[in-house]
Amino acid sequence: MPSSPSSSAQAARKGVADRLRELMLDAGLNGKELAARCGWTPAKTSRIINAKTPPSDQDIRTWCTACEADDQADDLIAKSRQAGSMYVEWRRMERSGLRQAQEAVRPLYERTRHFRAYAPWVLPGIFQTRAYTTAILTAIRERRGLLDDVAAAVDERMDRQHILHDGPHRFAVLIEESTLRNGLGGRPVMLDQLRHLLAVSRLPNVSLGVLALRPDRDKAWPVEGFWIYDTTQVNVELISGYLTITQPSEIAMYADVYAELSAQAVHGVPARALITAAINALG
């Protein structure tokens, strides 16, 4: 697994490593003895125990057999795979195309009741028009050299927007005013998108905040975009990959940052005034 910038992923990896170490000690073995039973070098045992190298499924099974704890293997393999999924490179996530990546998050969206999001660069997918989504996914496909399934991926994202109107879902979203004025997709696409955003912002289950451009912003500076799903998970889109955070202490950090940003944003009528101003600036 690639090294993750998240302590959630590292903590999960360490949890697997610690459990493997416990099995070794419970069996009365040291690192060299375990390595001899497994048929590999003591250095490999050390790397696994210290969470330097994630074990493969077969490594875990061999380890458990050496410790006479075969009944522990399946559970440890599941935990190891979960740790490995916390940070996923885009090339791995999108190897079968953009549609698959869009489909992968649908269950998370449909089971979440309270969404909190900060979107500093592009408008959130749940608020996007078809043309705006098409422009963004086309640019992503070209940048990453992916197969051309943009139309199918757009269909999936548009279909996912049913949660805006169906079920007990609440959305609290913060955007930067610059996002309203960056012209993604060109003037006609952006105009249509901003008008759609005005309509969405009036939905009873939507709270939209805009962080206005101003010369005296001395705190709550822009950070990476993120989504908080209820109080159980945070997702962050990085340049290189997709980060999933489940550690409560880290989720709390993102919730605190969201609260700080929200306190600096304008909501309701003032937020819609900034959207209208962006529309007027486009003519």
How confident is the model at residue 105, as a pLDDT?
86
Q: Which pLDDT score, from 0 to 100, does residue 69 have?
A: 95
Asked whether the predicted pLDDT for residue 144 surpasses 80, the reply is yes
What's the start-to-end Cα distance of the chain, in Å?
49
C-alpha of 204 from chain center: 26
* pLDDT one-digit tens code per residue, 181-230: 999 999 999 999 999 999 999 999 999 999 998 888 777 778 889 999 99
Task: State how far Cα 138 lies from the chain centre.
Answer: 20
Identify the sign of the CA torsion 190, 191, 194, 195.
negative
- Taking only the tens place, the pLDDT of each residue in 29-79 is 999 999 999 999 999 999 999 988 889 989 999 999 999 999 999 888 877
Instruction: Tell me which amino acid residue 52 is.
Output: K
Give the SS3 label for residue 275.
Answer: helix
Residues 6+ apart with CB under 8 A from 256: none
Average pLDDT, the chain: 89
User: Is residue 2 scored above 50 in pLDDT?
Assistant: no
Question: How much is the pLDDT for 38?
Answer: 96
Q: Name the fold adopted by 88-281.
A: Endonuclease; Chain A (3.30.870)
Quote the pTM value: 0.74
**What are the residue ranges spanned by the domains of the chain?**
7-85, 88-281
Q: Specify the CATH class of 7-85 in words.
A: mainly alpha
Q: Reduced to 3 states, what is the DSSP secondary structure of residue 136?
A: helix
